[in-house]
Amino acid sequence: MASPARVAVDPADGPGVAVHAVGLTFSYDTPEGTLVVLDGIDFDVEAGSVVAVTGASGSGKTTLLSVLGGLDRPHAGSVVIAGHDLAVLDRDEMARYRREVVGFVFQDFGLLGQLTALENVELALTFERVSRRQRRARARELLGAVGLIDRLGHRPRALSGGEKQRVAIARALANSPRLVLADEPTGNLDAAATAVVLELLMQVPAEHGSTVVVVTHDDAIAARADRRMHLADGRIVNR
Ligand SMILES: Nc1ncnc2c1ncn2[C@@H]1O[C@H](COP(=O)(O)OP(=O)(O)OP(=O)(O)O)[C@@H](O)[C@H]1O
Ligand SMILES: [Mg+2]
Protein backbone atom coordinates (compact mmCIF):
# COMPACT_ATOMS: atom_id res chain seq x y z
CA MET A 1 0.00 0.00 0.00
CA ALA A 2 1.50 3.31 -1.05
CA SER A 3 1.88 6.00 1.57
CA PRO A 4 -0.61 8.84 1.31
CA ALA A 5 0.46 11.45 -1.24
CA ARG A 6 1.86 14.58 0.31
CA VAL A 7 -0.61 17.33 0.88
CA ALA A 8 0.11 20.93 0.10
CA VAL A 9 0.15 23.50 2.85
CA ASP A 10 -0.05 26.51 0.60
CA PRO A 11 -3.29 28.34 1.37
CA ALA A 12 -3.50 29.46 -2.27
CA ASP A 13 -4.29 25.84 -3.15
CA GLY A 14 -7.88 26.39 -2.06
CA PRO A 15 -10.96 24.58 -3.29
CA GLY A 16 -11.39 27.00 -6.19
CA VAL A 17 -7.88 26.46 -7.53
CA ALA A 18 -7.10 23.36 -9.61
CA VAL A 19 -3.51 24.22 -10.48
CA HIS A 20 -1.25 26.56 -8.51
CA ALA A 21 2.18 27.10 -10.08
CA VAL A 22 4.88 29.34 -8.65
CA GLY A 23 8.26 29.87 -10.24
CA LEU A 24 7.79 26.76 -12.37
CA THR A 25 11.02 26.03 -14.18
CA PHE A 26 11.93 23.28 -16.61
CA SER A 27 14.94 22.89 -18.87
CA TYR A 28 16.50 20.28 -21.13
CA ASP A 29 20.17 19.42 -21.26
CA THR A 30 21.18 19.46 -24.91
CA PRO A 31 24.52 19.14 -26.70
CA GLU A 32 24.36 22.90 -27.21
CA GLY A 33 23.87 23.53 -23.51
CA THR A 34 20.91 24.02 -21.20
CA LEU A 35 17.67 24.92 -22.92
CA VAL A 36 15.34 26.67 -20.50
CA VAL A 37 11.81 25.98 -21.71
CA LEU A 38 9.75 27.14 -18.73
CA ASP A 39 11.51 30.04 -17.07
CA GLY A 40 9.94 30.46 -13.65
CA ILE A 41 6.30 30.84 -14.60
CA ASP A 42 3.49 31.62 -12.17
CA PHE A 43 -0.14 30.81 -12.86
CA ASP A 44 -3.33 29.48 -11.34
CA VAL A 45 -6.02 27.52 -13.10
CA GLU A 46 -9.44 27.89 -11.62
CA ALA A 47 -11.19 24.60 -10.82
CA GLY A 48 -13.87 23.72 -13.35
CA SER A 49 -12.48 25.96 -16.06
CA VAL A 50 -11.09 25.30 -19.53
CA VAL A 51 -7.70 26.90 -20.21
CA ALA A 52 -6.20 27.02 -23.69
CA VAL A 53 -2.40 26.99 -23.92
CA THR A 54 -1.12 28.59 -27.11
CA GLY A 55 2.32 29.54 -28.40
CA ALA A 56 4.64 28.98 -31.34
CA SER A 57 6.05 25.56 -32.12
CA GLY A 58 8.82 24.87 -29.62
CA SER A 59 7.51 27.35 -27.05
CA GLY A 60 7.09 24.64 -24.41
CA LYS A 61 3.40 23.73 -24.54
CA THR A 62 3.93 19.97 -24.52
CA THR A 63 6.62 20.36 -21.88
CA LEU A 64 4.17 22.24 -19.67
CA LEU A 65 1.58 19.48 -20.06
CA SER A 66 4.19 16.83 -19.23
CA VAL A 67 4.94 18.62 -15.98
CA LEU A 68 1.28 19.13 -15.10
CA GLY A 69 0.66 15.47 -15.94
CA GLY A 70 3.41 14.17 -13.68
CA LEU A 71 5.47 12.80 -16.58
CA ASP A 72 8.33 15.22 -15.91
CA ARG A 73 9.25 16.78 -12.59
CA PRO A 74 9.70 20.55 -12.34
CA HIS A 75 13.35 21.55 -11.93
CA ALA A 76 12.53 24.48 -9.71
CA GLY A 77 9.46 26.13 -8.28
CA SER A 78 6.31 24.37 -7.26
CA VAL A 79 3.14 23.10 -8.88
CA VAL A 80 0.32 22.08 -6.63
CA ILE A 81 -2.52 20.14 -8.20
CA ALA A 82 -5.41 18.74 -6.19
CA GLY A 83 -3.27 18.88 -3.06
CA HIS A 84 -0.25 17.20 -4.63
CA ASP A 85 2.99 19.18 -4.84
CA LEU A 86 4.52 17.68 -7.95
CA ALA A 87 7.99 18.93 -7.05
CA VAL A 88 8.21 16.65 -4.02
CA LEU A 89 6.30 13.48 -4.96
CA ASP A 90 8.45 10.36 -5.14
CA ARG A 91 8.28 7.94 -8.08
CA ASP A 92 5.43 5.84 -6.72
CA GLU A 93 3.45 8.92 -5.71
CA MET A 94 3.96 10.36 -9.20
CA ALA A 95 2.68 7.15 -10.78
CA ARG A 96 -0.34 7.21 -8.54
CA TYR A 97 -0.90 10.89 -9.28
CA ARG A 98 -0.91 10.17 -13.04
CA ARG A 99 -3.32 7.28 -12.58
CA GLU A 100 -5.76 8.91 -10.21
CA VAL A 101 -5.68 12.65 -10.80
CA VAL A 102 -5.01 13.15 -14.50
CA GLY A 103 -6.58 12.12 -17.80
CA PHE A 104 -4.61 12.56 -21.03
CA VAL A 105 -5.79 13.21 -24.59
CA PHE A 106 -3.16 13.23 -27.34
CA GLN A 107 -3.12 14.49 -30.92
CA ASP A 108 -2.51 10.96 -32.25
CA PHE A 109 -5.22 9.43 -29.99
CA GLY A 110 -2.90 6.89 -28.32
CA LEU A 111 -5.41 4.04 -28.49
CA LEU A 112 -4.27 0.42 -28.40
CA GLY A 113 -4.82 -1.02 -31.87
CA GLN A 114 -5.60 -4.57 -30.77
CA LEU A 115 -8.34 -3.52 -28.38
CA THR A 116 -11.89 -2.46 -29.18
CA ALA A 117 -13.22 0.97 -28.25
CA LEU A 118 -14.88 -0.56 -25.19
CA GLU A 119 -11.70 -2.38 -24.13
CA ASN A 120 -9.56 0.76 -24.59
CA VAL A 121 -11.79 2.62 -22.15
CA GLU A 122 -12.06 -0.33 -19.75
CA LEU A 123 -8.30 -0.57 -19.60
CA ALA A 124 -8.13 2.86 -17.99
CA LEU A 125 -10.22 1.45 -15.14
CA THR A 126 -8.03 -1.56 -14.46
CA PHE A 127 -6.53 0.03 -11.36
CA GLU A 128 -9.86 1.09 -9.92
CA ARG A 129 -11.24 -1.07 -7.17
CA VAL A 130 -14.30 -2.11 -9.15
CA SER A 131 -15.45 -5.37 -10.66
CA ARG A 132 -14.97 -6.21 -14.33
CA ARG A 133 -18.72 -5.88 -14.78
CA GLN A 134 -18.72 -2.38 -13.29
CA ARG A 135 -15.76 -1.40 -15.45
CA ARG A 136 -17.63 -2.53 -18.53
CA ALA A 137 -20.75 -0.64 -17.51
CA ARG A 138 -18.79 2.55 -16.86
CA ALA A 139 -16.94 2.25 -20.18
CA ARG A 140 -20.25 1.78 -22.03
CA GLU A 141 -21.72 4.79 -20.28
CA LEU A 142 -18.72 6.98 -21.18
CA LEU A 143 -18.71 5.85 -24.80
CA GLY A 144 -22.47 6.44 -24.96
CA ALA A 145 -21.92 9.97 -23.68
CA VAL A 146 -19.53 10.71 -26.55
CA GLY A 147 -22.01 9.29 -29.08
CA LEU A 148 -20.30 5.97 -29.76
CA ILE A 149 -22.73 3.42 -28.32
CA ASP A 150 -22.89 1.73 -31.74
CA ARG A 151 -19.09 1.55 -32.10
CA LEU A 152 -18.19 -0.31 -28.90
CA GLY A 153 -16.74 -3.32 -30.71
CA HIS A 154 -14.75 -1.37 -33.29
CA ARG A 155 -10.98 -1.45 -33.16
CA PRO A 156 -9.21 1.88 -33.82
CA ARG A 157 -8.55 1.07 -37.48
CA ALA A 158 -12.29 0.73 -37.97
CA LEU A 159 -13.00 4.17 -36.50
CA SER A 160 -12.74 7.61 -38.08
CA GLY A 161 -10.26 10.11 -36.65
CA GLY A 162 -13.02 11.98 -34.86
CA GLU A 163 -14.40 8.73 -33.43
CA LYS A 164 -10.94 7.71 -32.23
CA GLN A 165 -10.57 11.01 -30.42
CA ARG A 166 -13.99 10.57 -28.83
CA VAL A 167 -12.86 7.16 -27.54
CA ALA A 168 -9.71 8.84 -26.21
CA ILE A 169 -11.80 11.45 -24.40
CA ALA A 170 -13.99 8.72 -22.88
CA ARG A 171 -10.82 6.92 -21.77
CA ALA A 172 -9.34 10.10 -20.28
CA LEU A 173 -12.51 10.60 -18.23
CA ALA A 174 -12.80 7.01 -17.06
CA ASN A 175 -11.11 7.47 -13.69
CA SER A 176 -12.94 10.76 -12.98
CA PRO A 177 -9.75 12.83 -13.17
CA ARG A 178 -9.52 16.21 -11.47
CA LEU A 179 -7.51 17.45 -14.43
CA VAL A 180 -7.82 16.62 -18.13
CA LEU A 181 -4.74 17.47 -20.20
CA ALA A 182 -5.17 17.57 -23.98
CA ASP A 183 -2.26 18.17 -26.37
CA GLU A 184 -3.55 19.44 -29.74
CA PRO A 185 -6.53 17.10 -29.57
CA THR A 186 -7.95 18.31 -32.89
CA GLY A 187 -4.60 18.53 -34.69
CA ASN A 188 -5.37 15.50 -36.87
CA LEU A 189 -9.07 16.12 -37.40
CA ASP A 190 -11.15 17.76 -40.11
CA ALA A 191 -13.46 20.69 -39.37
CA ALA A 192 -16.54 18.60 -38.62
CA ALA A 193 -14.73 16.23 -36.22
CA THR A 194 -12.96 19.21 -34.63
CA ALA A 195 -16.31 20.79 -33.82
CA VAL A 196 -17.57 17.60 -32.14
CA VAL A 197 -14.39 17.11 -30.09
CA LEU A 198 -14.34 20.79 -29.14
CA GLU A 199 -17.91 20.59 -27.89
CA LEU A 200 -17.12 17.50 -25.80
CA LEU A 201 -14.05 19.13 -24.24
CA MET A 202 -15.96 22.29 -23.38
CA GLN A 203 -18.63 20.20 -21.63
CA VAL A 204 -16.13 18.30 -19.50
CA PRO A 205 -16.19 20.68 -16.48
CA ALA A 206 -19.99 20.75 -16.29
CA GLU A 207 -20.55 17.06 -17.05
CA HIS A 208 -17.61 15.52 -15.19
CA GLY A 209 -16.39 18.21 -12.79
CA SER A 210 -12.86 18.12 -14.21
CA THR A 211 -10.67 21.07 -15.08
CA VAL A 212 -9.32 21.11 -18.64
CA VAL A 213 -5.97 22.37 -19.92
CA VAL A 214 -5.84 22.13 -23.70
CA VAL A 215 -2.85 22.90 -25.90
CA THR A 216 -4.02 24.16 -29.25
CA HIS A 217 -3.14 25.99 -32.44
CA ASP A 218 -6.84 26.22 -33.15
CA ASP A 219 -8.24 29.71 -32.63
CA ALA A 220 -11.75 28.31 -32.32
CA ILE A 221 -10.69 26.30 -29.26
CA ALA A 222 -8.72 29.17 -27.77
CA ALA A 223 -11.70 31.48 -28.26
CA ARG A 224 -14.10 29.10 -26.50
CA ALA A 225 -11.83 28.53 -23.50
CA ASP A 226 -12.44 30.40 -20.25
CA ARG A 227 -8.86 31.60 -20.36
CA ARG A 228 -5.92 31.66 -22.71
CA MET A 229 -2.31 31.20 -21.66
CA HIS A 230 0.22 32.14 -24.33
CA LEU A 231 3.80 30.87 -23.99
CA ALA A 232 6.77 32.70 -25.48
CA ASP A 233 10.44 32.69 -24.51
CA GLY A 234 9.78 30.54 -21.47
CA ARG A 235 7.20 32.95 -20.08
CA ILE A 236 3.46 33.42 -20.06
CA VAL A 237 2.55 36.37 -22.21
CA ASN A 238 -0.87 37.93 -21.85
CA ARG A 239 -2.37 38.87 -25.16
N1 LIG B 1 13.63 15.61 -24.66
C2 LIG B 1 14.07 16.79 -25.08
N3 LIG B 1 15.41 17.07 -25.08
C4 LIG B 1 15.86 18.26 -25.49
N5 LIG B 1 15.08 19.26 -25.94
C6 LIG B 1 13.76 19.05 -25.97
C7 LIG B 1 13.18 17.80 -25.57
N8 LIG B 1 11.85 17.88 -25.73
C9 LIG B 1 11.60 19.10 -26.23
N10 LIG B 1 12.73 19.81 -26.38
C11 LIG B 1 12.85 21.21 -26.85
O12 LIG B 1 12.13 22.02 -25.93
C13 LIG B 1 11.39 23.03 -26.60
C14 LIG B 1 9.93 22.94 -26.24
O15 LIG B 1 9.39 21.74 -26.77
P16 LIG B 1 7.85 21.41 -26.67
O17 LIG B 1 7.66 20.06 -27.25
O18 LIG B 1 7.38 21.62 -25.28
O19 LIG B 1 7.23 22.54 -27.62
P20 LIG B 1 5.73 22.75 -28.13
O21 LIG B 1 5.33 24.13 -27.76
O22 LIG B 1 4.88 21.65 -27.65
O23 LIG B 1 5.89 22.67 -29.72
P24 LIG B 1 4.88 22.10 -30.86
O25 LIG B 1 3.82 23.16 -31.05
O26 LIG B 1 5.74 21.96 -32.06
O27 LIG B 1 4.33 20.79 -30.38
C28 LIG B 1 11.68 22.82 -28.09
O29 LIG B 1 12.66 23.76 -28.47
C30 LIG B 1 12.19 21.40 -28.18
O31 LIG B 1 13.13 21.29 -29.23
MG1 LIG C 1 3.81 20.12 -28.59
Q: How do residues 95-139 score in pLDDT, each as one tens digit?
A: 999 999 999 999 999 999 999 999 999 999 987 788 999 999 999
CA of 126 to the centre of ligand 1 (A): 32
Ligand 1 atom closest to residue 215's alpha carbon, by position in its atom list: 22
Smallest-distance ligand from the CA of 231: 1
Q: Which CATH number fits domain 48-69+91-237: 3.40.50.11540, 2.70.150.10, 3.10.129.10, 3.40.50.300?
A: 3.40.50.300
Residue nearest to atom 7 of ligand 1 (CA): 28
Check residue 5 and give its pLDDT: 44
Mean per-residue pLDDT over the chain, rounded: 92
Check residue 4 and give its pLDDT: 44
Q: How much is the average pLDDT of 185-210?
A: 94
CA of 60 to the centre of ligand 2 (A): 7
CA of 54 to the centre of ligand 2 (A): 10
Q: Model pTM? A: 0.92
| Other residues' Cβ atoms within 10 Å of the Cβ of residue 48 | 16
The b-or-e profile of 133-165 (16+ CB within 10 A means b, else e) is eebbebbbebbebbebeebbebebeebebbbbb
Pocket test for ligand 1, best of 53, 63, 183, 229 (most atoms within 8 A of CB): 63
Question: Residues with Cβ within 5 Å of ion ligand 2?
Answer: 61-62
Ligand 1 atom closest to residue 30's alpha carbon, by position in its atom list: 4
Indicate if the pLDDT at residue 11 is higher than 50. Answer: no
Check residue 25 and give its pLDDT: 97
Check residue 9 and give its pLDDT: 44
Comparison of pLDDT for 17 and 151, the residue scoring more: 151
Residue nearest to atom 16 of ligand 1 (CA): 60
Q: How much is the average pLDDT of 218-228?
A: 92
Pocket test for ligand 1, best of 35, 65, 186, 213 (most atoms within 8 A of CB): 35
CA atoms of 52 and 111, how far apart (whole Å): 23
Ligand 1 atom closest to residue 66's alpha carbon, by position in its atom list: 18
Check residue 56 and give its pLDDT: 95
CA of 136 to the centre of ligand 2 (A): 33
pLDDT tens digits along 45-82 = 999 999 999 999 999 999 999 999 999 999 999 999 98
Q: How much is the average pLDDT of 212-221?
A: 92
Check residue 14 and give its pLDDT: 52
pLDDT tens digits along 14-53 = 568 899 999 999 999 999 999 999 999 999 999 999 999 9
- Nearest by Cα to 146 from 179, 113, 169: 169
